[in-house]
Chain A
Amino acid sequence: MLNYVIRRILIAIPVLFGVTIINFIIMRMAPGSPIDMLVSPKLPAAAIEAKKVELGLNSPVYVQYYHWLKNLVLHGDLGYSMITYESVTKMIWSHMGPTVLLMGTSLILGVAIAIPLGVLSATRQYSKLDYTAMTGSFLGISVPSFFLGLGLIYIFSLQLHWLPSSGMTVLGGSGGVVDVLRHMILPVIVLTASVAGRNVRYVRSSMLEIMGQEYLRTARAKGLREFLVVNRHAMRNALIPIVTVLGMEIPILFGGAVVIEQIFSWPGIGQLTLSSIMSRDYSTIMGLNLVAAFVVILANLLTDVLYALVDPRIKYSYQGAAKS
């Protein structure tokens, strides 16, 4: 297993390298540059040139990429934002926490709702509960998150005055867990609704497939209680495909953060991504892209490792591959 993980990590390095090159090329092909954002075109040509020199944009593109890569590999340094002059590493790091908090909570809550509900729906197919759960999940998938978000703000912030409509803490307040929790409620509801909505259906269909299997009939035949049949024998196999789906859920949440973070002014990575693209902040875009690629690769690796843990068949094939 360790061999396998190491091999996967080694493969990830050229992938990340490729991603940065492609990103660099696409980014530089987009019209506009940070210079357009920083200096008015009415400035004398010498002043615009001075800014280019200062930002290192005067050298050829491949040289700029080389400098970026050299800094990253030798110093682990992602450089400075071309707009704010903040260290990119610091900027990403400080925005990562809020995003992970929001996404992690929503993912856990979403799964905590989806698995029991999916299992119940499957065991009681065509019951009232099943129909309700399926309608609910349908709504969770199909109601756009910005719409749900705005609706919740309207009800809970504007009409009832129960919850704040934006931010993560009261500005200038002392913060505190309660404060963060209050700000989290609405965005978490929106994200959880979509996570749970998507996954209830996966769990249900995967469970339904297993429920017809013969080994369950055997389990029942030997007199095992239905509770154990479902939760021990059926569920363990039904959840294997769910691991894959959840692995894909992490990058989806990471991307979906942009919309939710904007609606709720959540100080996370989503809005940073958007604004750095809008202002052509090359160094920040590169940093964020690297992090996003890293998250996707990590989520995939985690999925595969978990998969091997829950499915013994896969472990054997890894070992076989490792020997050869």
Chain B
Amino acid sequence: MITRKGMKMSLMLLLAALLVTLTACSGSDANSNNAGTDSTSAANGKKVVNIGVTYAPSGINPLAPVGLVSTYVAGLMFPPLVELDSDLTYKPMLANSIETTDNKTFTVKLNEQAKWTDGTPVTADDVIFTLKLMTNAAVASNYAYIFATIEGIDDSGYLPEGTADIAGVKKVDEHTLTFTTKAPTTLNIFKDTIGRNLMTLPQSALKDIAPADINKSDFMQKPTVTSGPFKLTSIDRDHYVTMEANKDYFKGAPKLEQLNFKVLQGSAISTQLQSGEIDMNIPSAGVIPINDYEKVKGLNSVTTVDGPPIATQFMYINEKVVPDAKQRQAISYAMNRGQIVDKLLKGAGEVVDGYFTSYSPYRDETVQPVAYDPEKAKSLLQESGWKSGKTLTLSVLSGDATLEQASNIIAENLNAVGIPVKIQMLDLATLIDKLVKMDYDLGILTVSLTPINPLPDIAYFLNEGNPSGYKNAEVEQILASLGAETDEAKITSDYAKLQQIIAQDVPMPSIYATKALGAVNNRVTGASPKDFGMFINVNEWDVK
């Protein structure tokens, strides 16, 4: 009998524990009776928009957001000075204007209406306070390097220890400040770097936290004083972010009451668009698999938008393994990129050769991607004295079905011209590790270059210490002069020259750029899924 009682007891205990968890998880309100599956509209009749994303908002700390979605979420709480829109112009956010007369001193005028949620105004002091945190080595922000252009900050982006003030930043009045850069730079680049990446934090809430503790502070997990259109209500990094409207937002109270992000698998984006559980996606951060494009476009409840080509697949070539430019040209000729774009991407992409897609203002149209020509590839290989004895390993980022298939085609193409290749799928951390250590033969990785200011990325790919082992003195000279150039025409011609050189040297051929699909439910008005500037007008979004 005891045994029976014992078993019964443990079962009862288990059940009781379960019940406690159940009630704990479900919150205090027990009288909810949501009936509809179309949860978006059913959440207590509130005006809610749910956005599907495929990347987790890992760290929403505005000093160092990790990944695209984190940046969007941080920006909704702490608007940057300006934001890049899809037409590649900058729209005012926290700053009403950014101006310069000499390309060295930039005057930033803040929106005087801007207020923190505790009622105090957002001032120039807050901006300076944030910049000091950003450039503090103890905070070790991954964005600090962007601010290395400012006078008084060292080349790694840190304010030298023992220095109290940043020499290049001056407060003019409560809502105006000036930035002085070390070298002249264009207004657009200033906006693209400092304007977009400085998300102002409230000095009053953070001044008592030591910079070394700021990342771990409760505030950075759940900011309590914000200024943007939405406030954070809860976050679970791998699953969701829920936000509620900030009625006092300086550009006008949002019409929506809630804005939520749901972290989903790629295949679930189309499913949940169909079921109504999400209302829209962010094209490059809520990636719909190419195979679902037709299905999503066919949904009656949804309007779709074809995005510009941004995310590009690059082939990294280790020049210790493939030393001759002719051999690298041969790789370019051997790849049937047209077939990949037509058959695999079903036209939702473009063939790219080099760093610039057709979306970039700096693309030189005279430099066209080389056509598929296996015979030419073979003869180039022969000229270079290529010996096909060794099988090269093609390391590919795993998890993207389209990229995996494309890699198979490329491996076939390369095998066909006499470059034996075998594929190795790797997760992102492993792949990056191998590329950086140059412990690879060939590699394929997705890279998205910013359209306005691609210099930091291109400089990394081509300058000393790049992951290909490429070296060209002329290229380094062009890159150096681009760093201090303010004449747009000269910048364009420099980038054109760069494209002509790399078309010959082929340090890092690209394969294709995808046009990410955006989709939005017709019940949402004012919102358009796009990679740049999607949330600029978020306060005007509404639901029918």
Contacts and interface: CB of A to CB of B under 8 A. Distances in A.
B478 interface: no
Contacts of A223: none
A20 interface: no
Nearest to A107: B14
B251 interface: no
Contact of A176 (B3, B31, B264, B457): B31
Contact of A275 (B142, B237, B457): B237
B472 interface: no
Contacts of B42: 170, 173
Interface stretch (A123-131, A156-164, A213-221): A156-164
Interface stretch (A37-45, A132-140, A290-298): A37-45
Contacts of B265: 262-263, 265
Nearest to B274: A158
Interface size class of B (residues with CB under 8 A): 35 or more
A50 B32 CA distance: 49
A46 B158 contact: yes
A153 B277 CA distance: 12
Interface in A158-201: 158, 161-180, 182
Nearest to A34: B429
Interface string B154-171: 111110000000000000
Contact of B429 (A36, A50, A86, A157): A36
A179 B25 CA distance: 11
Nearest to A160: B37
Interface stretch (A6-14, A92-100, A203-211): A92-100
A32 interface: yes
A157 B37 CA distance: 8
Interface string A241-270: 000000000000000000000110101000
B258 A172 contact: yes
A37 B66 contact: yes
Contact of B272 (A108, A166, A279): A166
A176 B429 contact: no
Interface in B1-51: 2-3, 6-7, 10, 14-15, 17-18, 21-27, 29-34, 37-39, 42-44, 46, 48, 50
B26 A54 contact: no
B432 A178 contact: no
B56 A173 contact: no
Interface in B142-192: 142, 144-145, 148, 154-158
A310 B237 contact: no
A177 B33 CA distance: 9
A164 B59 contact: no
Given A173-B34, A173-B44, A306-B10, A275 B56 contact: yes
A143 interface: no
A85 interface: yes
Interface in B458-495: 459-460, 467
B430 interface: yes
A161 B277 CA distance: 11
A182 B34 contact: yes
Contacts of B138: 54
Q: Is the interface of B mostly helix, strand, loop or mixed?
A: mixed
Identify the interface centre among B23, B30, B34, B137: most chain A CB within 10 Å of its CB: B34
A238 B282 CA distance: 56
B220 interface: yes
A169 B220 CA distance: 25
A165 B157 contact: no
Given A41-B467, A101-B25, A171-B260, A306 B7 contact: yes
Contacts of A262: 265
Interface stretch (B95-103, B238-246, B381-389, B408-416): B238-246
Contacts of A38: 64, 66, 142
B37 A180 contact: no
Given A172-B46, A173-B32, A173-B43, A180 B221 contact: no
A271 interface: yes
A165 B271 contact: yes
A94 to B, nearest CB: 7
A173 B37 CA distance: 13
List the 8 shortest-distance A-B pairs measured between CB atoms, nearest first. A32-B429, A176-B32, A42-B460, A175-B27, A46-B156, A54-B140, A174-B29, A173-B43
Interface of B: 2-3, 6-7, 10, 14-15, 17-18, 21-27, 29-34, 37-39, 42-44, 46, 48, 50, 56, 58-59, 61, 64, 66, 137-140, 142, 144-145, 148, 154-158, 212, 215-216, 220-221, 233, 236-240, 242, 244, 258, 260, 262-265, 268, 271-272, 274-275, 277, 427-430, 432-436, 456-457, 459-460, 467
11 contacts: A51-B142, A83-B66, A84-B237, A95-B236, A97-B25, A108-B15, A165-B277, A174-B32, A176-B29, A265-B265, A309-B2
